[in-house]
Amino acid sequence: MNPDQRHPASPDSPSAALGAETDGLRHLLVETIEARHTLAADAHLVSESRYGMGFGSQWRDLLDDTREALTDRGFESCRLAPGGHSIPVVNNCLVYVWRVPNHPDAVNEFASSPTRKSGFAVPPPEPGLWEPSLSDEHDAADNQNEGEVEQALRAVDDAMSVILVMIKSSPWRLHSVDWAVAVLDEDGKVELRGTEPIWVPEPDADASTSEVESFDSGAPIEPTVEAREQEETDPDA
């Protein structure tokens, strides 16, 4: 079955779900994630640990950092049962920031825990008299119109959309940050819609490797080979 047929009310992309908050949220997330990555990487180097468990435990700090960054700007958060993780809400979307484990089925298995699975059935909060915004172009008229749209959407689907922010990193480097709309299939597996990168490494970060001539273009430099002088035979050997 086509995923669009199973989840007809879910948006097709993060920008469709977040609307005017897309650019502002993207900037805030990147800033928050880079700051946490730097702290975690520095701590790993100082510890001289041979293992990455401590570095991987930053996932809880990432949830807290993101929630604090958004609630400080007036956004609400939602506490997921039974684990109690507080996840921020932007434009009636749960924004779940997650460092992806190095496993091929990690995304599909995202909702394997009861706490994460409960995030896919959370109703949106009641609209307030004033709605916070990360957009400079947001004004009172937009708030009023969005309120009307939100009420119409609730008649179609009572659960909030889940924006899954996926981080790939190591103690030596932040590799990528992508986001997508996450939905559950009939088996409780997570499917992604509209996946797109929101951060990629700067080109200069790969300068050391980009200067190396590729084998598929140009002529490789042949190594210098010198003939080895034949050792004299020891008559006493």
Q: What is the mean pLDDT of each run of 10 residues along the chain (237 residues)?
A: 54 95 96 96 90 86 96 95 94 95 92 94 83 69 49 59 96 95 94 96 61 47 56 43
What pLDDT score was predicted for residue 67? 97
pLDDT of residue 190: 97
The pTM score is: 0.75
Q: What is the CA radius of gyration of the chain?
A: 25
102's enclosing H/E stretch is: none
> 236: helix, coil or strand?
coil
Write the burial class of residue 192 (CB in 10 Å: 0-12 exposed, 13-18 middle, 19+ buried).
Answer: middle
For residues 181 and 17, is the Cβ–Cβ distance under 8 A?
yes
Closest CA to 44 of 57, 30, 31, 33: 57
Q: What pLDDT score was predicted for residue 221? A: 53
Query: What's the rounded Cα separation, in Å, for the pair 93 and 89?
Result: 5
The CB-based long-range contact list for 147-156 (8 Å cut-off, 24+ gap) reads: 150/92, 150/124, 151/127, 153/9, 153/92, 154/123, 154/124, 156/9
> From CA 124, how far away is CA 200, in angstroms rounded?
31
**Count of CB atoms within 10 A of residue 158's CB?**
12
Q: Is 230 strand, coil or helix?
A: coil
3-state secondary structure 139-170: CHHHHHHHHHHHHHHHHHCCCCEEEEEEEEEE
